[in-house]
Amino acid sequence: MSFYSAENLYFSYNSTPILQGVDLHIAEGSIVSLLGPNGTGKSTLMKLFLGLLSPKSGEVILKGKPLQSYSMRERALHVSYVPQSTQVAFAFCALDIVIMGRIAFESWFQKPSKTDMDLARTAMDRLGILHLEKRTFQTLSGGEKQLVLIARSLAQGAKILVMDEPVSGLDYGNQLRLLETIMKLSKEGYTFLKSTHFPEHALMLGGYTYALKDGHILAHGLTCKTITEELINELYHTKIELKQTACGYPVCIPSFVQTKA
């Protein structure tokens, strides 16, 4: 039984084809990174996995059942979304945002129950941001905002997190801390599907990588096997050299740096 997968997905906006015959398989507890140039369909693919868009043909399977057969609420039990950035127009505090992860499981008249509050606080505590609970969301830094949105996903109770370029706009330290958080959660059994512009980040997290170009899967497999100098050149039209460090960890070195040296 496939845990979470897409089979032969086709999608187009009006008549412009975006995805053409995409297969993608995600094993439980794994981290899957999507690589690819801008405008190549990464976000669309993730929206299809979330059920925010419907494929023109092919289907997404979640735990053996087509995603289409899940209601919004049922899907929210299994899969959550960490958007690239959330525009928050009103002055909500961080805890308000996290508690929104429970919205699908409350009825019209209900206030968030004690259990919901506990779930939200526990989620914030796990990520070490409980001290931010009363802070207004807009006043938080980019890294803190991302952690609040991840806490919302944890509060939602879904074990699969779909993340659209989670590190975009974060400073170097926050990028690394966020990747560490993903790694930690993955060890606890969470599954990740995330897009990234940094092959280095995919290499850091390991797991699996799917390289997407012009709506096709160009290459896929274990990250350390998939990301090669040739693939990067083909995806981004830029030359790099992959070097192994002493401990065997691969790093990307752009060619212009080498010519300078």
Partner 1 sequence: MKNSLLFGLIATALGISLLVSLSLGRYEIDLGSLTQLLLWKVFNIGTAPHDVSLLSNIVFDIRLPRILAVILVGAALSVSGGAFQAMFVNPLVSPGILGVLAGASFGAALGIMISNSWFGVQLFSFTFGFVAVLVALGVAKIYGSSGSKTILLVLGGVISSSFFSALLSVVKYVADPYNKLPTIVYWLMGSFSAVDMKTVSSVAIPLFVSTVMLSLMGKYLNVLSLGDEDAKALGIRVAWVRNSAILLATLLSTLTVVVAGMIGWVGLIIPHIARFMVGADNRVLLPMCALLGATFLIIVDTLCRTSMSIEIPIGIATSLIGIPIFVLALRNAKKGFA
CB nearer to partner 1: pick between 8 and 138: 138
- Which lies closer to partner 1 via its Cβ, residue 104 or residue 117? 104
Q: Please, what is the minimum distance in Å from the beta carbon of residue 26 to partner 1?
A: 17
**In the bound complex, what is the minimum distance in angstroms from residue 84's beta carbon to partner 1?**
11
Q: Closest Cα to residue 121, out of 89, 168, 90, 154?
A: 154
Strand partners of residue 31 = 192
- For partner 1, which is the closer residue by CB, 77 or 117? 77
CB of 223 to partner 1, least distance (A): 26
Residue 238 CB, shortest distance to partner 1, in Å, is 31
Phi, psi at residue 38, to the nearest 5°?
Answer: -60, 145
Place of tokens 């599954």: 191
Residue 244 dihedral angles phi and psi, to the nearest 5° = -85, 130
The rounded distance, in Å, linking the Cα atoms of 182 and 208 is: 14
Nearest approach, Cβ of 5 to partner 1 (angstroms)? 19
Report the distance separating Cα 22 and Cα 5, nearest Å: 10
Indicate the residue among 109 and 172 with the shorter CB distance to partner 1.
109
Partners of 163 in beta bridges: 82, 194
Q: 32 forms bridges with which residues in the sheet?
A: 193, 208
Q: How far is the CB of 226 from partner 1 (least distance, A)?
A: 28
Q: Name the site residues for partner 1 (rule: CB under 8 A).
A: 47, 50-52, 72-73, 75-77, 80-81, 83, 86-92, 96, 100-101, 103-106, 108-109, 111, 138, 152, 156
DSSP 171-217: -HHHHHHHHHHHHHHHHTT-EEEEE-S-HHHHHHH-SEEEEEETTEE
Nearer to partner 1, 76 or 217 (CB): 76
Nearer to partner 1, 102 or 220 (CB): 102
User: Which of 94, 87, 85 minimizes the C-alpha distance to 136?
Assistant: 94
